[in-house]
Amino acid sequence: MNGIGHIRSALAVLAMTVATPVIAQSSVAITGATLAIGDGSEPVRNGTVVIAGGKVVAAGAGVAVPAGAKIVDAGGKWVTPGIVSGFSRVGLAEVPAVKETNDTRASSPFSAAIDVAPAINPLANPIAISRTGGVTRAVVAPAAGDGMFAGQGAVIDLGADMNAITKARAFQYVEMGEAGAQEAGGSRAAMVLTFRMMLHQAQDYAKAPASYDGGSRDALLNRVDAQALVPVVTGAMPLMVHVESARDILTVLALRQEFPALRLIIAGATEGWMVAPQIAAANVPVITAGLEDLPSSFEKLAATQSNVGRMVKAGVAVSMGMLTGDDALQLRVATQQAGNMVALTKVPGATGLSWGQALRTITSAPAEAMGLGDRIGSLRPGRAGDVVMWDGDPFEMTSAPVAVWIDGVEQPLVNRQTRLRDRYADPAEGALPKAYEW
């Protein structure tokens, strides 16, 4: 097959994956389930979920099935909210190592003003793969290019359609750890000063937009970036700050003394357990990685898998996301992250989470961190009808989704990987491409 043929074949696979028919039911009742709401409570037996108009109407034990609803008998299978990835770059990169497919970072005259929403590609294979793994929503962050500020992230759904954006410009993302220090001239002192001056210039712009001179020698922000930071300094937009070390976390929390309107979200926080009481007292949510347990850098010297459990125990609102690599590809390992937190409860000296607490870190907690807890992330009434039925405990490595609904629409559980698996599972002579003839 020549190059053009390969391209056509790949496009055909993408089209088939997305174009698989999905039909919305006016009312669906999933009955007989081992049901988990996603709010931190433990699963209940023989539960029912009712979805109507794309939203959850009721969920729990003893829920009545409305007349005319399509009944799906779970037969005791596990049913949960769709997984919400608390941090990712899914949809921004098809093959991260191939720059033509990678929109995660930019060398651009702009920084804070960059908006990732137009770059999200619903046809990207990692979206379909993640959906097949039970992930229905994701927080998508840009990566920093030539400055501390990377731009404005989004919350998306992973449905098999072209309307992926749940909320555009959902937060501003900034690097303030080792990477941020390098972007600011090589020291944390310079980084903090640069950051503070940028926020002050955004305040200046907010007070007098017409007189702001973004081209002056003293300007750290051009007019477009200054305008983009106004919602941050006024508290209208959350500021997600990537820091890992305990000292950097405390530095970020202290910024509220000068900028009290900041709505902070801390991403990373590998050493968060060391300052968990301070984070909890500041009421700042944390998005972290559940499997970080090695001192892979100087800002992660105190890494431990007990980080999540210790922060939750201290009262921190913790979510988990892909902050240890593969952030554009492997969102489906969220259940593995959560399962490890449950397993830690059986390890002497370790601090883990209950099953319900662990599910919350990958469902309702990231939704709440984004200010969307009333819309997505759990099976409470009024939330989006994002539901997953599993063939076993979702936290077991051998379990997989058997049905996924997003906004009440049942989704196809096929992707390029499953099609290749099925194609070559039992190959017949003459049915293979020439390269595979034997």
pLDDT of 234-292, one tens digit each?
A: 999 999 999 999 999 999 999 999 999 999 999 999 999 999 999 999 999 999 998 88
The structure's pTM equals: 0.91
Q: Which CATH number fits domain 83-376: 3.20.20.140, 3.30.450.40, 3.10.580.10, 3.40.50.2000?
A: 3.20.20.140
Average pLDDT over residues 13-17: 45
Question: pLDDT tens, 324-369?
Answer: 888 999 999 999 999 999 999 999 999 999 999 999 999 999 999 9
Q: What is the 3-state secondary structure (H, E, C) of the chain?
A: CCHHHHHHHHHHHHHHHHHCCCCECCEEEEEEEEECCCCCCCCEEEEEEEEECCEEEEEEECCCCCCCCEEEECCCCEEEECEEEEEECCCCECCCCCHHHECCCCCCCCCCCCECHHHCCCCCHHHHHHHHCCEEEEEECCCCCCCCEEEEEEEEECCCCCCCEEEEEEEEEEECCHHHHHHCCCCHHHHHHHHHHHHHHHHHHHHCHHHCCCCCCCCCCCHHHHHHHHHHHCCCCCEEEEECCHHHHHHHHHHHHCCCCCCEEEEECCCHHHHHHHHHHHCCCEEECCCCCCCCCHHHCCCCCCHHHHHHHCCCCEEECCCCCCCCCCHHHHHHHHHHHHHHHHCCCCCCCCHHHHHHHCCHHHHHHCCCCCCCCCCCCCCECCEEEECCCCCCCCCCEEEEEECCEECCCCCHHHHHHHHHCCCCCCCCCHHHCC
Average pLDDT over residues 174-182: 92
Task: Provide the Cα torsion 316, 196, 238, 146; round to 10°.
Answer: -110
Average pLDDT over residues 202-210: 96
The full set of domain ranges for the chain reads 3-80+400-424, 83-376
Question: pLDDT tens, 392-411?
Answer: 999 999 999 999 999 999 99
Question: pLDDT tens, 106-146?
Answer: 889 999 999 999 999 999 999 999 999 999 999 999 999 88
pLDDT of residue 18: 46
Domain 3-80+400-424 in CATH: superfamily?
Answer: Urease, subunit C, domain 1 (2.30.40.10)
Are domains 3-80+400-424 and 83-376 of this chain identical in fold? no
User: Does the structure show a pLDDT above 80 at 25?
Assistant: no
